[in-house]
Amino acid sequence: MRELSHFNKDGSVRMVDVSGKKATARRARARGFITMSAKVLRQLPENPKGNPLEIARIAGIAAAKQTFALIPLAHPIPLTHVDLEVRVAGGGVEIESTVATQAPTGVEMEALVAVSVAALTIYDMCKAVDKSMTITDICVIEKRGGKSGTFLRPQASRPGPQSAR
């Protein structure tokens, strides 16, 4: 059984030492969903603060680049690619991030932070119309590279409109 990597044998918290690891190509994708009322969905293109989906996309990209400042034990790593797709789907908005690096550690946290902040941005911009929006199903759907290899979440257990209703 694998052990939690952010704890010493005595149980104290530590940042994982990656100084002896080689920098390799790594990629992660994450997805999440925010449910909202039909009224909000209709108003998305007309929001007086700007297009919430495009602003959320930019917020997610910016957040991925700041993951090390938000997650206490995350490493500051150079990101070579960050992209977010933000689209209306099945009673809400689906958000999917793709993050890549050439580093000694992975980018799963960066992908998750990108999706989370994008969803929070949509909530912030639309809460005047619908405070009952729900952010849900945030998860890693793919991870490639590094010692642990490839992880692909099975299609049936991926979040999205069908599981967020």
pLDDT in tens, 117-162: 999 999 999 999 999 999 999 999 999 999 889 999 987 566 566 5
Instruction: Give residue limits of the domains in the chain.
Output: 24-160
Closest CA to 55 of 123, 122, 126: 122
Residue 124 is a catalytic residue = yes
Percentage above 70 pLDDT, the chain: 89
Question: Would the pLDDT of 37 be above 60?
Answer: yes
Return d(Cα 43, Cα 20) in angstroms, integer: 51
pLDDT in tens, 38-97: 999 999 877 677 789 999 999 999 999 999 999 999 999 999 999 999 999 989 999 999
Catalytic residue, candidates 17, 124, 130, 137: 124
How much is the pTM?
0.89
* Burial state string for 55-91 with b = 16 or more CB within 10 A and e = fewer than 16: bbbebbbebbbebeeeeeebeebebeebebebeeeee
* pLDDT score of 10: 77
pLDDT band at residue 164 under the 50/70/90 scheme:
very low
Return d(Cα 143, Cα 60) in angstroms, integer: 18
Q: Give the H or E element holding residue 98.
A: strand 92-103
pLDDT in tens, 85-112: 999 998 999 999 999 999 999 999 999 9
In terms of CATH architecture, what is 24-160?
A: 2-Layer Sandwich (3.30)
